[in-house]
């Protein structure tokens, strides 16, 4: 992987702290921030300093650990009260990526299953679990890359949307892991990178990650995807996901749905790459996925420059849902779901 600091790193023991790349400053500044309390972690997730579904889940897990550092180690009842408060609080940071809730639920179960442990031992166990969530994500991303690279053997140009790279996960990414693995296997792809919504994760983050790896990257605006497909420049699309319903409907960064429809119109396979932690089998379809609405200022005053008239009405959904019928296959760490049906999703993930 590129020689750069880790996206997410725990420094020290149970009394240590969380260190994150501040992704809002990329690609101009590569700066890390230290998070020593749950409030700082919440703010980092809310403000997209750390973002991407798997990365949010990992950061929140460590957020619980720092949030528990103020508790009296000899008082288990106080530990349980504080734990519930911290986990519920971190769950309010962002609504769409299910990895956040998946990780917090995993910690909740751990605490409930170990009610006889002291508060001190429980804090140590929480840190171990957060580290396990972090390490497992790294492994899942590697595996996704291996399964995905196999689908692109006859492809030279691909398109990806938003950022599903090492910055969005523990390390390799989901969609980008497919391209990194292809490169490791000697297959160099030409990746067309969508800009995405006003926060420009494609331009700022994906282009940066691909260039660090010497993968040929061409930046386009979202509105150019149809023309790029029409010109035959891409033969596949691979994106990540923030939440996948039991029927395969997949929420991802706003604009993904339109790219999937365009890909279908051009006979180009549209793939989602995501770990099992991104599936929400409790919901039947994408209609039940909560879509985050973000502040109007992201559209009217992006990066500090006013680009719309004062007082204009704005609609700013951060995600959309691509219906399963537009998804050629979902690449997971367990294998490829193809075709995307509820039966196949449940068989792979359930």
* Residue with Cβ nearer ligand MRU (129 or 209): 209
* Residue with Cβ nearer ligand MRU (71 or 95): 95
As a whole number of angstroms, the distance between CA 97 and CA 61 comes to 14
Shortest gap between Cβ of 161 and ligand MRU (angstroms)?
Answer: 7
Q: Is 53 annotated as a binding residue?
A: yes
Two structure tokens written together for 275: 């770990």
Q: Is 52 annotated as a binding residue?
A: yes
* Residue with Cβ nearer ligand MRU (107 or 244): 244
Q: Is 201 annotated as a binding residue?
A: yes
Q: Which of 194, 242, 280, 320 is catalytic?
A: 242
Is 242 designated active site? yes
Rg, Å, the chain Cα set:
20
* Residue with Cβ nearer ligand MRU (200 or 345): 200
Identify which of 3, 256, 273 has the alpha carbon closest to the alpha carbon of residue 146.
Answer: 273
Shortest gap between Cβ of 251 and ligand MRU (angstroms)?
Answer: 8
As a whole number of angstroms, the distance between CA 222 and CA 195 comes to 6
Cβ(285)–Cβ(247) below 8 Å: yes
Shortest gap between Cβ of 182 and ligand MRU (angstroms)?
Answer: 17
As a whole number of angstroms, the distance between CA 284 and CA 300 comes to 36
Q: Is 146 annotated as a binding residue?
A: no
Cβ(38)–Cβ(46) below 8 Å: no
3-state secondary structure of 201: helix
Cβ(253)–Cβ(272) below 8 Å: no
Cβ(206)–Cβ(219) below 8 Å: no
Two structure tokens written together for 273: 């790459």
Give the residue nearest to ligand MRU (CB): 240
Q: Is 123 annotated as a binding residue?
A: no
Shortest gap between Cβ of 57 and ligand MRU (angstroms)?
Answer: 10
Which residues contact ligand MRU (rule: CB under 6 A)? 48, 51-54, 97, 162, 164, 168-169, 173-174, 201, 239-242, 252-253, 318
Active site residues: 242
Q: What are the binding residues for substrate?
A: 51-53, 94, 201, 252-253
């Amino acid at each position: 992987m590129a020689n750069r600091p880790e996206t997410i790193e725990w420094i020290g023991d149970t009394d240590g702290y969380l260190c994150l790349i501040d992704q809002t400053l990329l690609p101009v500044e590569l700066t890390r921030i230290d998070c020593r309390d749950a409030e700082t972690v919440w703010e980092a997730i809310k403000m997209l300093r750390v973002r991407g579904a798997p990365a949010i889940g990992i950061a929140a897990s460590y957020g619980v650990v720092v949030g528990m550092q103020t508790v009296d180690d000899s008082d288990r009842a106080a530990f349980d009260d504080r734990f519930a408060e911290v986990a519920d609080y971190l769950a309010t940071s962002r609504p769409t990526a299910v990895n956040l809730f998946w990780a917090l639920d995993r910690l909740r179960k751990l605490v409930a299953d170990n009610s006889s442990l002291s508060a001190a031992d429980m804090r140590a166990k929480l840190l171990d679990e957060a580290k396990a969530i972090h390490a497992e994500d790294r492994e899942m991303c590697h595996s996704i890359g291996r399964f995905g690279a196999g689908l692109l053997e006859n492809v030279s140009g691909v398109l990806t949307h938003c950022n599903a790279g090492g910055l969005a996960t523990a390390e390799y990414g989901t969609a980008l892991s497919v391209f990194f693995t292809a490169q490791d296997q000697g297959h160099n792809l030409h990746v067309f990178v969508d800009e995405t919504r006003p926060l420009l994760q494609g331009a700022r983050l994906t282009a940066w990650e691909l260039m660090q790896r010497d993968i040929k990257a061409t930046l386009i605006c979202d509105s150019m995807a149809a023309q790029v497909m029409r010109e035959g420049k891409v033969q596949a699309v691979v994106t990540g996901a923030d939440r996948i319903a039991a029927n395969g409907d997949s929420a991802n960064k706003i604009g993904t749905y339109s790219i999937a429809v365009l890909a279908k119109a051009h006979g180009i396979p549209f793939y989602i790459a995501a770990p099992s932690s991104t599936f929400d089998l409790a919901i039947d379809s994408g209609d039940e996925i909560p879509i985050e609405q973000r502040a109007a200022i992201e559209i009217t005053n992006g990066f500090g420059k006013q680009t719309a008239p004062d007082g204009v009405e704005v609609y700013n959904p951060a995600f959309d849902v691509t219906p399963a019928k537009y998804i050629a296959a979902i690449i997971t760490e367990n294998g490829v779901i193809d075709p995307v049906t509820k039966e196949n999703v449940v068989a792979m993930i359930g």
